[in-house]
Amino acid sequence: MSKRRKAALIILLIGVAFVLVGAPIYFLWPKFRASGEIHGFEKRLDADYTRAINAGVPLVAEELAIEPPVSDSENAAALFEKACASLPKKLDPNFQYNAETGNYKEASALLKPAEPAMDLAVKASAFPKCEVKRDWDLGPDLLFPEFGRAKQLAKCLAARAVIKAGAGDHDGAIVDLRACSSLGADCVSDSTIIGGLVDIVIQKIMVRGLEHCLPMADSAVALRKYESLLNGSPPNIDCLMVLKHESYLQTAVIRNMDPGSNGETNFVELAKSGDLRRSGVPESSTARGIMAAHLELWSEVFERAQKETDPYRLLSLPEEVLERQEVGHESIFGLEALVTPVIRDAGQAFELNKISWPITDALCKVMIYKKEHGAYPASLAEVGFNKIDPFSGKLFRYLVKGDEVRIYSLGKDRVDNNGLRKSEMPARKSSQFDEAASYPPIAARKTKVD
């Protein structure tokens, strides 16, 4: 074989060797690198665990308990769960359309199957607190079955309130509206992201129902009854506790991580067999390294949270800390990279909690003013309303056109759409709308039922 051919063959063999050896290394390098990173983090686990304790990172489920403990005499949980469970799974959704368009007889007939559940919800609203017992160590397998039903039950209560207002029973309407709002408070008492988001939806359902009751209030006295319901504030979303719950759910996942399971850990089965790890740290080297990284991130989050004065800003902290800590360690922060944007977005959604009650309260005030003076006030300041729209940093907008009035926030898009709500915007602008309260109110659309 000539020297030239030998050289060519050697080059070819080197090329083949590169493909056979180099390609796997190329594709597996992130895993090799992650393995090295994990070992580095694992060595710090003991120190990270101590730091997490000092920072207030919850490390056992008992640290998520409501303080002080809720006594049975104060706890709405049993009635709340029973009310949600007893709501029929299938209801004709047009009870809302019929109630808001004045077809009260048809609306009442459609709501009749839900009457027992609504009455239980009214009874539950008499209790000041709600603590549903949950197994937080179930991690991603922990379910909240009552939340979906609570939303539907809230719509039922709001519709029944409108029906009662239409019959002149404003006291009865307020009882149902208060029970509706309490459903949201019961959901958010868990201090989870999903509980907070369900509460925001329910509070919007409540104020929508109240908005449809106002046209039937034929005196300032009746209007003041609705105004008094809004004199307080919507249920508080404890953002610090939300962070604690979200961090602990991740802790539960990592603590029970089995490297051989391909991420398919069945937490319910582990709990039944008594093998669910509820404290301490995981056993495998990989899981211990991931736990150390997890604790480092959340320790800094809770250390910074102690200095944060804006409760909604708290929910941006995990992503901010992650952006700095994951540099050069992206492969080990996979779980946090999935979760932290969700927490941040929830914080932005929670801002809506500052809108629905105030704008509806302002609507009550200007309608009372008109009853007493024969015309709407020239500004919201004339009725003593000076609250700030969190999305514009300025006063809420006030728009009067003849007998029509709107009080509104610019909403998340921060664009002034003249108080038009999502249902009123053209399809091409469905993501651009304002958060508004108006007279006359906007009725629900009729739903086609198969």
Question: For residue range 415-438, what is the model confidence (pLDDT) as tens digits?
Answer: 888 888 888 877 655 677 899 999
Torsion angles phi and psi, residue 408, rounded to 5 = -150, 160
Listed in sequence order, the residues at least 6 apart from 40 whose beta carbon sits closer than 8 Å to its beta carbon are: 289
- Segment 405-415 mean pLDDT: 91
In order of 145, 207, 362, 373, the CA distances from 383 in angstroms are 43, 20, 8, 12
Residue-level pLDDT at 259: 61
CB of 81 within 8 A of CB of 153?
Answer: no
pLDDT tens, 262-312?
557 899 999 999 999 999 999 989 899 999 999 999 999 999 999 998 888
- Distance between CA atoms of 277 and 326, rounded to whole angstroms? 27
Torsion angles phi and psi, residue 169, rounded to 5 = -90, 75
pLDDT tens, 141-171?
999 999 999 999 999 999 999 999 999 999 9
With a pLDDT cut of 70, the percent of the chain lying above it is 89
Residue-level pLDDT at 263: 57
Q: Where are the alpha helices (DSSP H) in 390-439?
A: none
pTM score:
0.88
Residue 409's DSSP bridge partners are 435
User: CA geometry: angle at 133 spanning 129 and 139, to 5°?
Assistant: 125
pLDDT at residue 15 is higher than 50? no
- Distance between CA atoms of 192 and 194, rounded to whole angstroms? 5
pLDDT at residue 228 is higher than 50? yes
pLDDT tens, 363-382?
999 999 999 999 999 999 99
CB of 121 within 8 A of CB of 183?
Answer: yes
pLDDT at residue 410 is higher than 60? yes
Q: If pLDDT is split at 50, 70 and 90, which confidence band does 396 have?
A: very high
401 token code pair: 């056109």
CB of 129 within 8 A of CB of 148?
Answer: no
- Taken as a whole, the chain contains a residue count of 450
